[in-house]
Amino acid sequence: MQIQTCRDDHRIAWLAALAITIHIVESALPSPLPGIKPGLANVIVIVVAMRFGWPMGIWISGLRVIAGSLLMGTFLSPTFILSLSGAVGSLLVIIGLSYLPGRGCTAIGYGVASAIGHVLAQFWVAYQMFIQHEGLLRILPILVTAALGFGLMTGFIASKVLEQWESPALK
């Protein structure tokens, strides 16, 4: 029995591989505080979702989390649970925003909302499952501020990628 693949299958595979690579490289970067990372793999998710639709963006995000954790040896660990919760929170927020009147948000809007949704979901899961201490609340403003900054950055990068994708040279 031969399995048939379509163009979208190949597109998902290539873009997921790119997101996984960025995710793994980013995990090796030093961080001033645990949990603060730029989220550059989310650029791929935003671009894919805006260009090809949210179902494909969900595939890319899910494959990034699962394959990335398998490759880094963190599958089913607390790191995996936090990564998955952040991805789900991020996707829920940006899918919700896509239902706004008109065309939803810009890439920058999705980047900011996605980053903040990611941090808040991770924080909630960390508090509920791992660290039930009020002291954890003291770092929430720092995490949200970092998410705002990194969300602006990833949204800006995603908007530039989308502009290039739409340029006549690439058509």
Q: What are phi and psi of 2, to 5 degrees?
A: -100, 130
- Quickly tell me which residue has 């379509």 as its tokens: 6
Please choose, from the candidates 109, 140, 138, the residue with its C-alpha nearest in 3D space to the C-alpha of residue 123. Answer: 140
Residues 48, 56 contacting (CB under 8 angstroms):
yes
- How sure is the predictor about 169, in pLDDT bands with cuts at 50, 70 and 90? low
What's residue 15's pLDDT?
86
- Give the tens place of pLDDT for each residue, 64-104: 999 999 998 889 998 899 999 999 999 999 888 888 877 67
| Residue count of the chain | 171
DSSP 8-state class, residue 51:
H
Task: Work out the pLDDT band at 111, boundaries 50, 70, 90.
Answer: very high
Provide the percentage of residues in the chain whose pLDDT is more than 90: 46
Q: Are 117 and 98 in contact (CB under 8 A)?
A: no
Quick one: tokens of 44? Answer: 């791929």
Q: How far apart are CA 107 and CA 167, in angstroms?
A: 16
- Tell me the percentage of the chain whose pLDDT exceeds 70: 92
What predicted TM-score, i.e. pTM, was given to this entire model?
0.85
Give the pLDDT mean for 11-19.
86
Domains of the chain in sequence order: 7-166 (1.10.1760.20)
Residue 167 pLDDT level (bands cut at 50, 70, 90)? low
pLDDT tens digits along 129-153: 988 888 888 888 999 999 999 999 9
What gap in Å lies between CA 57 and CA 114, rounded to an integer?
A: 12
Long-range contacts of 94-103 (CB under 8 A, 24+ apart): 94/46, 94/49, 94/54, 95/54, 98/49, 98/54
Q: What's the pLDDT score for residue 168?
A: 59
Segments in the chain forming alpha helices (H):
7-27, 41-52, 54-72, 78-97, 107-125, 140-166
> Which among 109, 136, 105 is positioned nearest to 123, based on CA atoms?
136
